[in-house]
Amino acid sequence: MPELPEVETIRRHLAPRLEGRRLEALAVHDPRWCLPLTPDALAGACGGRRVERLDRRGKYLVMAFEDDVFLLMHLRMTGTLLFEPAVDEPYRRVTFGLDDAHELAFCDPRRFGTGELALGPEALTAFFAARLGIEPLGGALTGPVLRALATGRRGPIKAFLLDQRHVAGVGNIYADEALHRAGVHPLRPAGSLRPGQYAALAEAVAAALQAGLDAGGATIDDFRHPDGVSGAFQHEFLVHRRRGEACGTCGTTIVKFVAGGRGTYACERCQPRPRVR
Ligand SMILES: [Zn+2]
């Protein structure tokens, strides 16, 4: 599933190609993409409008049109946005026709991706306020902030990090990588870390996401850049998907287990397992 670095990589590729262009045609081929709106209603709201910006919030891409019309896209499991896709590109769910004759397609084999509409800045703010917590790049995520969010929570810290209402944009890859960098076991109760560990984790989340961004995201499953190129961060994973391999820090074998309902990877020497009370 694309996480913050993958979505931000897409945004950076597409923003210069979309900003200032007029959306001449919006064809939703799969009506499930924009439920409960109909394809006609969505095309009516966005069609003919100029794209002012392509923004990102958490794992959402936000196409900001003139007159404060916002199209909020989520790639979910396998969604990708391709610029100038092949005519026979499979799994095409939406086609955006631009006024410079270029085309953008939302392709999505498993069809979990979505497109939603917000009309006006208040609707946009309310949409994200209900769904997303802190944006982890840019300095807002600090040890004290993380500690305040986690206080009293007994669920595993991994599940806490995956909950978008706490920290926006972190998914399975970057949660594993950040917890390893911070030396925190994924099964530690979220509220049980020492102050220094919250600080280390806040820093590690930002560092893992930044490393992913610098590598153009990670390509596992179906993630591709809008020009079809793959990301490279999967070659730099410290623990994720490395079961049975040696930890780069201490040489201990990396293990896999379930935390927060997800396949999770850790070095249990660098990240000591909590004792069962
Ligand atoms: Zn280790």
- pLDDT tens sequence across 145-192: 999 999 999 999 999 999 999 999 999 999 999 999 999 999 999 999
**Cα 59 to ligand 1 centroid, rounded to whole Å:** 30
- Catalytic status, residue 122: no
Annotation says 56 is catalytic: no
Other CB atoms within 10 A of residue 21 CB: 15
Beta-carbon-side half-sphere exposure of residue 149 (alpha carbons within 13 Å): 22
DSSP 96-122: EEETTS-EEEEE-TT---EEEEEESHH
Catalytic residue list contains 245: no
Is there a catalytic annotation at residue 136? no
Please identify which of the residues 49, 59, 181, 242 carries the catalytic annotation.
Answer: 59
Share of the chain above pLDDT 90, in %: 90
Place of tokens 């769904």: 131
Q: Ligand 1: distance of its center to the CA of 217 in Å?
A: 24
Ligand 1 centroid distance, CA of 166 (Å): 27
In the set 12, 53, 76, 262, the catalytic residue is 262
Q: What is the mean pLDDT of residues 191-211?
A: 98
Terminus-to-terminus CA distance in the chain, angstroms?
Answer: 34
Tell how many helices (H) and how many strands (E) occur in the chain.
7, 10
In whole numbers, what is the pLDDT of the chain averaged over residues? Answer: 95
Q: What is the pLDDT of residues 20-73, one digit of tens each?
A: 999 999 999 999 999 999 999 999 999 999 999 999 999 999 999 999 999 999
Radius of gyration for the chain, computed over Cα atoms and rounded to the nearest angstrom: 20
Q: What is the pTM of this model?
A: 0.95
